[in-house]
């Protein structure tokens, strides 16, 4: 069994875009908006291979966490947890404390990461223009919110 120590999480580069999109498609997650926001993305690599990713649509006061995916054979080893943690830490180091996400499949997973279900009309107005809110995510997706303490 592969140990987590073999997996390295780091900032994505432009060369990673194709692999990120494949990973998202394989996991039925939207790729709309990735080209505009890839600079916020982190990737998890096992050697050369990208086996996990996560990103955000970040605005001045709030960010939409999106595109969290880990290849099936690497799951349940903490890779997703590390990607989410590092994303939140990086965004909060830029002064962002308010985080949202939309999910159809992973409400319980993000609840364990501190997110709470919220109504769409509670979402920070900066995020309502994002691709995920506009059209990429199904209207039935659950909205979740995390406010990081200062
Ligand atoms: C959600 C996902 C990123 C988690 O990645 P991971 O690296 O396996 O996660 P971690 O190792 O940090 O956590 C694993 C734990 O979360 C649980 N978990 C994983 N996916 C879950 C889900 N969708 N709902 C609830 N719990 C989930 C596992 O059962 C495991 O529980 P355990 O620690 O009690 O054994 C991964 O399952 C995935 O890529 N899923 C498909 C894409 C997806 O739905 N992404 C979320 C989009 S909003």
Q: pLDDT per residue over 86-129, tens digit each?
A: 999 999 999 999 999 999 999 999 999 999 999 988 999 889 88
Model confidence at 135, pLDDT cuts 50, 70, 90, reads: confident
d(CA 109, ligand 1 centre) in Å = 6
* Distance, CA of 78 to CA of 81 (rounded, Å): 5
Per-residue pLDDT at 35 = 96
Parallel/antiparallel/unpaired status of strands 62-70 and 98-103: parallel
End-to-end alpha carbon distance in the chain:
39
Verify whether ligand 1 is closer than 6 Å to residue 143 (CB atom): no
Question: Is the pLDDT higher at 139 or at 32?
Answer: 32
Per-residue pLDDT at 5 = 65
Verify whether ligand 1 is closer than 6 Å to residue 68 (CB atom): yes
Verify whether ligand 1 is closer than 6 Å to residue 86 (CB atom): no
Judge whether 107 and 60 are in contact, CB under 8 Å: no
Verify whether ligand 1 is closer than 6 Å to residue 79 (CB atom): yes
| Ligand 1 atom having least distance to the Cα of 108 | 25
* Distance, CA of 8 to CA of 2 (rounded, Å): 13
Q: Identify which of 53, 37, 35 has the alpha carbon closest to the alpha carbon of residue 45.
A: 53
Tell me: pLDDT of 4 over 80. no
Verify whether ligand 1 is closer than 6 Å to residue 80 (CB atom): yes
Residue 101: how many CA atoms within 13 Å on its side-chain side? 26
Residue of the nearest CA to atom 33 in ligand 1? 76
Which residue in the block uniquely carries the two structure tokens 């059209």? 135
Judge whether 24 and 53 are in contact, CB under 8 Å: yes
Backbone angles phi, psi at 36, to 5 degrees: -80, -20
Backbone angles phi, psi at 84, to 5 degrees: -65, -45
d(CA 106, ligand 1 centre) in Å = 7
Return the domain boundaries, the chain: 4-147
Q: Which residues pair with 102 in a beta bridge?
A: 143
Model confidence at 137, pLDDT cuts 50, 70, 90, reads: confident
d(CA 81, ligand 1 centre) in Å = 8
Backbone angles phi, psi at 40, to 5 degrees: -85, -5
CATH code assigned to 4-147: 3.40.630.30
| Ligand 1 atom having least distance to the Cα of 75 | 8
Per-residue pLDDT at 2 = 46
> pLDDT (tens digit, 9 = 90+) per residue, 17-45?
999 999 999 999 999 999 999 999 999 99
pTM greater than 0.75: yes
* Distance, CA of 64 to CA of 143 (rounded, Å): 10
């Amino acid at each position: 069994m592969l140990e987590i120590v073999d997996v390295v999480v780091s900032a994505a580069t432009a060369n990673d875009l194709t692999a990120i999109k494949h990973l998202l498609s394989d996991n039925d997650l939207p790729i709309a908006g990735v080209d505009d926001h890839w600079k916020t993305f982190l990737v998890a690599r096992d050697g050369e291979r990208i086996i996990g990713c996560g990103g955000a649509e970040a605005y001045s006061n709030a960010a939409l966490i999106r595109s969290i995916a880990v290849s099936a054979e690497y799951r349940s080893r903490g890779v997703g947890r590390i990607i989410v943690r590092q994303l939140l830490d990086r965004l909060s180091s830029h002064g962002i404390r308010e985080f949202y996400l939309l999910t159809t499949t992973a409400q319980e997973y993000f609840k364990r990461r501190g997110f709470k279900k919220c109504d769409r009309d509670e979402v920070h107005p900066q995020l309502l223009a994002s691709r995920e809110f506009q059209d990429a995510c199904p209207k039935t997706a659950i909205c979740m919110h995390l406010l990081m303490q200062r």
